A and B are shown apart, each in its own frame.
Chain A
Amino acid sequence: MLLIDCPHCGPRDEVEFHYGGEARVAYPADPHAVDDRAWAEFLFFRANPAGEFTERWQHSAGCRKWFHALRDTRSYEVLATAALGRPLPGERGADAAGTSTDAAGTTTDGAGA
């Protein structure tokens, strides 16, 4: 079981958390301005790297805050966590201010099923 360092509550067992998939997938500012392909990629396409991966997690059985985590998908090691809007230490290619928020719409087959 992973030990995840909630930026607000500190390290807690994985069972207290809800996984939110790839981070930094921004909801288009105007969904109607993007073409079908771009919209479908927003809805359904997610990276699946072997290695460091920036993810969204929610401390659902704790403070209920969403936050970012940098995790190595090969070792499962959580390398860093950061509150939304804060820089995520070690994240490659992130904007320096770390201000990007990301999309909630991560379901690939219709949430609520």
Chain B
Amino acid sequence: MTGRRLDASRSPGHGIDRSRPLILTLGEDTVRGFAGDTVASAAIAGGSIVCGPSLYRARPRGILTAGIEEPNALLHLEPTAPGTPAESMLPATTLEATDGMRARWLQGMGVLDPLGDEEVYEHHHVHTDVLVIGAGPAGLAAAREAARSGARTMLLDEQSMLGGSLLSGRHERIEDRPALDWVAEVAAEFDAAEETRVLRRTTAIGAYDANFVVAVERCERDAEPRPGVPRQRIWHLRAREVVLATGAHERPLVFADNDRPGIMLAGAVRSYLNRWAVAPGERVVVATTNDAPYALVEDLVEAGIEVAAVVDARPAPSERAAAVLAASGVQARHGAAVVGTDADGEGVLSGVVVADLDADGAPSAETTGIAADLLAISGGHSPVLHLHTQRQGPVAWSDRAGGFVPTGAVAHQQVVGAAAGLPSLADALETGARAGQAAAAATGWETALQLPTAPAEPTGAVRPLWLLPDPRLPEGEPLDPERWRNHLVDLQRDQSVADILRATGAGMRSVEHIKRYTSISTASDQGKTSAVAAVGAIATLLAQQEGSTADLSAVGVPRHRPPYSPVAFAALAGRRRRELFDPVRVTNIHPWHVDQGAVFEDVGQWKRPRFYPQALPGGGVEDMDAAVARECLAVRGGVGMQDVSTLGKIEIRGADAPEFLNRVYTNGFAKLAVGKGRYGLMCTADGMLFDDGVTLRIAPDRYLMTTTTGGAAKVLDWLEEWLQTEWPELDVVLTSVTEHWNTIAVAGPRSREVIAQVAPELDVSQEGFGFMEFRATTLANGIPARICRISFSGELSFEVNVENFHGQAAWELIRTAGEAAGITPYGTETMHVLRAEKGLVIIGQDTDGTVTPQDAGMEWAVSTFKDFIGKRSFSRPDTSRSDRKQFVGLQPLDGRTRVEEGTHVIAPDTPMTPEAGPVPHLGHITSSYHSATLGHPIALGLVSGGFDRIGEQVRAVLEDGSLLEMEIVPSVFYDPDGSRRDG
């Protein structure tokens, strides 16, 4: 293998700038290249086509392609600048070489940079009239027509340069001038037009409903660093019309030892030769099934590189083949195929083995050897239709095109050029221009069509070759997998025809099954070179088994799914990482909680203090159990304070507000007096508990509803839905005011004396300020406040509401006023223990959408006088079952074991043996705490028929498999008479 750079007299080298040399390190080697090189082109120019060996079988491998379809030549790239991540699994064939770059070959597998990725990635959202994907001749023609019309047009291409396949050519002409001059003119005209945009190094990775296309732009590969530009951009493109000019990928041929270094796709050889001025070999054999590689033959001869032979599967030369062979004098074998290869000691190609084919495509036993250091292969071309099939666009096999082509259109999307199975330049230009004009016209921008012209070329037929047995093997069972192990189909996955034979031998017929059984087409190249080869092999094998002719359309192609090519998770995340991943909501009092060393828990998006660990006298700080025990005892024995500002708050106004609340709450609110509040339950129409909270009546037509912290948004949604869709005649207006108020709970037997100091104008006596009443007042520091008597702990308790601007001042006021009483800030964990001691349900913790108010023991809050959402469901047979799970208390008999929430409970006599089968469960624990007040653990749970089981024993199945005896008790553990509520 003797790759080398050609001088300008032998190759145009469109893609490189010979005035800008660069040096990169590839493994142990120093490689010289030019600006515009890929790592692959630089490596070949440096003399080596060999890359890392294959993933599983460690077979020597070389650079196969010149693009994104590369299965072999994968790189690990060291950070290109301090702070940038190392990258893995980058195809050398697409990675642009830069000076100082350090890379090494991988054996088919890489690792993510363990240091993470601190680079900036961004998302852009744009709308366009016409989106053209692919800037080859078809795409440029489409973009030019669309732009001329005045339509807003975007053009994407994954390459750094526009031109697509034209970059690989040599003498192509468009509109009577060299094709790349035409490309430059079109690019200039497009840039000059208003409302146009070109994105280079930008790959469309997914197409979604309504012409939503996602693309990734690799800004970090730009030659000139641009300050302020992110490393990569994800483009969210919404186009009224899409033109897919995505070209085609050449397919390898499947024969024995078809994966050696020195075997390269014919189109790739031409790209290296003309775009990068690199000769990947000195003595070339071209093996083909179609006309495309004859352009390569012409270019090789012109560049002075020996073409040892052309091996063409078609029995007679096509018009194009005959012309090229006559002009060049290159020897050709028609009706023949390469059936094997020879290698040197390093496993690199040294020769090819050729056999004649019979009419059925079977090779003759007699073979010929031809020495060569490069085998250029073309098994046909597969239109790149990922963005078409992702939208359920239909495809079918076309014998004429020798590939799967579109057989129907996706709405507002067109496929043109080679992607439509039309390989000729003239066809690409015409279909592209027509599509661009039509797309613009469909968005209301008309223009007269100006067809770019190119000389017509004859395109001969294709003779696909799917299964080429090795005629040099001794006689044997033709489909013995051992005879096919070195006929590679998926080079990245190291899967061969033998693997397909095992899959079809196991009875599989569907390409989707075989794909998963063999893993063909599931590697990071997503089968760009292997999928159709596998389909051809499968169809041929099935036809042989069934005595029919191969039908590729019946086998079908594996469904394409986004992304078209690998994309970094960091790019998909964009700015939405760490603190920007999800909004964090905090109350105005939050800084105080932080200062006090609170441990927080997430409740929805809110950060709520869970407990406030205190320093221990002997050093260290309290753990959660110690802190919660201290906080609980402080509330029960003195006074505590909690920031409960996160509770959802919805203001409900309008003449029909009383009637509306009567319909959505299970209990009555129409007759609630102004100045009073009431605890209410909401159910869904199926009768299941949905949310709860206290609602205050501020005025005859004005209520303030509170919801659970996590339920605020869904309750507002729910209320709006009923008002808009069922009861639009009601005069009701809803406003979310959660953020407008800070609320501080002051709870405990000494709370009254604290509130008396905080609100000197307020009569806080039991006679003057009853339970579930509220008062407007002014606090001692002049802040207007609304104070309610609400209790979620069973203790005498007040809630102080102030406008959120004053939250921290009110908090400080209460804390100072409560100092003498030893006021103790407490968190959500203490709140949970206190409410559990009182048997108060937390919707969403003790309930799960299958619990009715009756199941929860709250029939007292269900009106029998009025109708409300869900009431009808209480008389359904299912909600009347006697074995429904009901809300009860549970206590461990040992008096000390605290069970995990979620623990299942079973009847005491339940056998737990494999012979007895599944263990019927009675219910589960929903809440479980240690009660410092009671001195033992308590639990709440849902137990089948629980109300009638009070006093009975059950067993809890603990995590370690052991059983804990528990007694079912009433859910109210503490102060069942409610005597502490009024102090």
Contact = CB atoms under 8 A, between A and B. Distances in A.
Interface stretch (B96-104, B329-337, B457-465, B682-690): B682-690
Contacts of A58: 717, 720-721
Given A104-B722, A105-B869, A112-B691, A1 B212 contact: yes
Contacts of B118: none
A111 B849 contact: yes
B844 interface: yes
A3 B213 CA distance: 12
Contacts of B725: 56, 66, 84, 101-104
Nearest to A20: B721
A65 B720 CA distance: 9
Contacts of A34: 872
A102 B711 CA distance: 24
A27 to B, nearest CB: 5
Nearest to B719: A104
A44 to B, nearest CB: 8
A101 B722 CA distance: 10
Contact of B684 (A2, A36, A77, A111): A111
B711 A112 contact: yes
Nearest to A85: B728
B212 A3 contact: yes
A80 interface: no
B873 interface: yes
B210 A27 contact: no
A92 to B, nearest CB: 21
Contacts of B848: 110, 113
A2 B210 contact: yes
A27 B726 CA distance: 7
Contacts, number: 112
Interface in B702-731: 711, 714, 717-718, 720-722, 724-726, 728
Contacts of B724: 65-66, 84
B850 A110 contact: yes
B686 A1 contact: no
Nearest to A1: B212
Interface in A71-103: 75-78, 84-85, 101-103
Contact of B871 (A14, A31, A66, A108): A31
Nearest to A108: B686
B228 interface: no
B56 interface: no
Contacts of B843: 112
A39 B873 contact: yes
B901 interface: no
B529 to A, nearest CB: 31
Query: Which has the most chain A C-beta neighbours within 10 Å: B691, B720, B721, B869?
Result: B721
Interface in A42-66: 42-44, 56, 58, 60, 64-66
B411 interface: yes
B208 interface: yes
B955 interface: no
B876 to A, nearest CB: 6
A113 B721 CA distance: 17
B739 interface: no
A25 to B, nearest CB: 10
Interface residues of A, number: 41
A40 B876 contact: yes
A31 B872 contact: yes
A40 B848 CA distance: 20
Contacts of A20: 721
Given A1-B210, A112-B691, A107 B721 contact: no
B28 interface: no
Contacts of B726: 27, 101-104
A46 B244 CA distance: 39
A110 B685 CA distance: 8
A24 to B, nearest CB: 11
B688 A104 contact: no
Q: Which of A13, A39, A75, A113 has the most CB of B within 10 A?
A: A113
B686 A112 contact: no
Interface string B861-884: 000000101011101110000000
B872 A39 contact: yes
A46 to B, nearest CB: 13
Nearest to A14: B209
A14 B236 CA distance: 13
Interface in B33-64: none
A95 to B, nearest CB: 16
A102 B724 CA distance: 10
A110 B688 contact: yes
A75 B684 CA distance: 32
A43 B212 CA distance: 35
Contacts of A32: 867, 871-872
A112 B689 contact: yes
Interface centre among B210, B691, B843, B848 (most CB of A within 10 A): B210
Nearest to A42: B685
Given A84-B728, A110-B849, A113-B848, A76 B209 contact: yes
A31 B867 contact: yes
Contacts of A84: 724-725, 728
Nearest to A31: B872
B238 interface: yes
Contacts of A2: 209-210
A107 B872 contact: no
B254 to A, nearest CB: 37
Q: Which of B714, B873, B875, B877 has the most CB of A within 10 A?
A: B873
A26 B684 CA distance: 15
A108 B875 CA distance: 17
A107 B871 contact: no
Contacts of B686: 43-44, 105, 107-110
Contact of A3 (B238, B691, B722, B876): B238
A14 B843 CA distance: 30
Interface string B151-175: 0000000000000000000000000
Contact of A110 (B211, B684, B720): B684
Interface in B237-289: 238
A20 to B, nearest CB: 7
B721 A66 contact: yes
Nearest to B724: A66
Contacts of B685: 27, 42-43, 103-105, 107
A20 B717 CA distance: 11
Nearest to B214: A1
Contact of A113 (B209, B238, B849, B867): B849
Contacts of A39: 872-873, 876
A14 B208 CA distance: 12
Contact of A112 (B212, B849, B871): B849
B849 A60 contact: no
Interface in B871-915: 871-873, 875-877
Interface string A10-43: 0001100010100000010001101010011011
A20 B725 CA distance: 11
Contacts of A27: 685, 726
Query: For A1, A44, A77, A104, which residue has the most chain B Cβ atoms within 10 angstroms?
Result: A104
B720 A105 contact: no
Given A105-B684, A105-B686, A43 B873 contact: yes
Contacts of A76: 209-210
B818 to A, nearest CB: 36
Contact of A18 (B689, B717, B876): B717
Nearest to B869: A105
Nearest to A27: B726
Interface string B844-855: 100011100000
Given A43-B873, A109-B849, 4 more contacts: A56-B725, A58-B721, A66-B724, A104-B718
15 contacts: A32-B871, A34-B872, A36-B876, A39-B873, A66-B721, A75-B392, A104-B725, A110-B684, A111-B684, A111-B849, A112-B684, A112-B691, A112-B711, A112-B843, A113-B849
7 nearest CB pairs, A to B? A113-B849, A105-B685, A110-B849, A110-B688, A31-B872, A112-B690, A3-B210
